[in-house]
Structure 1
């Protein structure tokens, strides 16, 4: 029907409504896209840290909202050949009240093959949950690269995360990273490294038994009151403590038959065939190469002038007591 002069066509409001709806949809789409870009990792790269780390694995470790980004770590230009890198991965959410930035430090380094048992920047091995080719402690983990990647020192993929980070997810990230960097360096093994099906929880400290410290019959340490005992099958470690409240570390004793660790040890600079020194040795036990180590603690060092045995003698007592458990044909201490 014709529209009378001065009367508005009924089609015009419909057109305006459609235009307004389209405008709102456009704004909503823009806001949605902005949210996806700022607060999720949609449309992001599939790898980080120059291709060393899978973004999907980093997302699994850094839970919560936010976009994943990466930047060079403090070492920036590591001199570790093709397997070396240093990278900070962050996940932050924009405009979300109460959100915080999650941070993950991942790097490829080189260490002496027995690095996990020698202290320094590495945690006390008695507090570590070991698995074949690696270990995990609260807030950190590492995976050893294949033996072909060892050149004077063993290749290692390691990560530092928040203490509450899921250890299994952290280990999966590092296993994938180790495969990536060993592959591009041309030192990968035939079958790729695989993450363990299960990671045993860290053991709590317990009272020490006077005549079988660390569960070794005949091994006695009169000053020791508490111990932390870890047994992952191929790797064994025991930290001992003494003093008021049993807080002062006396010594940590370790042993491993892990083939990946043994291979890294044997190819490391300074290895003589029997070990590195008098308290870091390798011997044959039931046909298996077995590494033994002892790291003295503050209490033991302080007690050396008050009748404590010399480090080599204490190490000999430890390895002699450990022979039965590992089936060694002869004392493991260096002669």
Structure 2
């Protein structure tokens, strides 16, 4: 499974290494012994942080964050490449009153992997299950934030890593949980990849604390 964060998202070199870091962490999590990738030492055209399109977050048509998670006037920022390769990721952050550390780690990071060696390595992991971790979806994976779907004949891994700006929203009653936000992402981007086993977004489920109240 991937954990992708950047303490300094405005650093071009760090941005260039975001996707490479995704791939390496996927291999680490799967116990894969393939050589690790190395980020370039200098990049002149790495993607800048930009304001997100409200209806196409991360460049995915129809994908957005709900106002219950961001607030009605949120300035949502993202870092994502202009085009998608076999290992693709998008870092999302809110330009709000979060502290520097929380802002640097952001709201969430989304990833899509179609690199055959990486996906095959993940599927060999003891933690990987062929049973679907998401009710109603024909997928396999680790849990409801890390799944593999058949996308037009290609095994495709989808992942979401939660940042502190997202966990902060769970203090607001009625805010959707991470699994619902992930399902919305996979439903939207999955259409572009031809993932027939993904059958749409689940209904948002508010976060509930241990005592049964909304978290």
2-structure distance, mates of 1:207, 1:294: 20
Structure 2: give runs of 5+ residues left out of the alignment: 131-139, 203-215
- CA shift, 1:290, in A, is 0.4
Higher share in strand: 1
2-structure distance, mates of 1:201, 1:208: 19
- CA shift, 1:225, in A, is 1.4
The counterpart of 1:270, out of the listed 88, 112, 127, is: 127
- Map 1:317-332 onto structure 2 (within 5 A): 317-331=184-198
Q: 2:86 touches 2:114 (CA, 8 Å); kept in 1?
A: yes
- Map 1:1-335 onto structure 2 (within 5 A): 114=1, 117-119=2-4, 127-129=15-17, 135=20, 153-158=31-36, 166=41, 201-221=45-65, 222=67, 223=70, 225-230=76-81, 231-244=83-96, 248=103, 249-273=106-130, 274-306=140-172, 307-331=174-198
Counterparts in 2 of 1:120 and 1:217: CA distance versus 1, 3 Å: closer
Q: How many residues end up aligned between the 2 structures?
A: 175
2-structure distance, mates of 1:310, 1:322: 19
Counterparts in 2 of 1:217 and 1:209: CA distance versus 1, 3 Å: same
- CA shift, 1:260, in A, is 1.4
Quote the residue 2:209 is aligned against.
none
- CA shift, 1:127, in A, is 3.0
TM-score computed with the length of structure 1 as normaliser: 0.44
- CA shift, 1:236, in A, is 1.8
Counterparts in 2 of 1:303 and 1:136: CA distance versus 1, 3 Å: closer
Larger Rg: 1
Compute the RMSD of aligned alpha carbons. 4.0
Q: 2:62 touches 2:188 (CA, 8 Å); kept in 1?
A: yes
Counterparts in 2 of 1:144 and 1:252: CA distance versus 1, 3 Å: closer
Structure 1: give runs of 5+ residues left out of the alignment: 1-113, 168-198
2-structure distance, mates of 1:136, 1:295: 13
Q: 1:257 touches 1:290 (CA, 8 Å); kept in 2?
A: yes
- CA shift, 1:217, in A, is 1.6
Counterparts in 2 of 1:201 and 1:317: CA distance versus 1, 3 Å: same
* Larger RCO, structures 1/2 (Cα 8 Å, 6+ apart): 2
Counterparts in 2 of 1:130 and 1:220: CA distance versus 1, 3 Å: closer
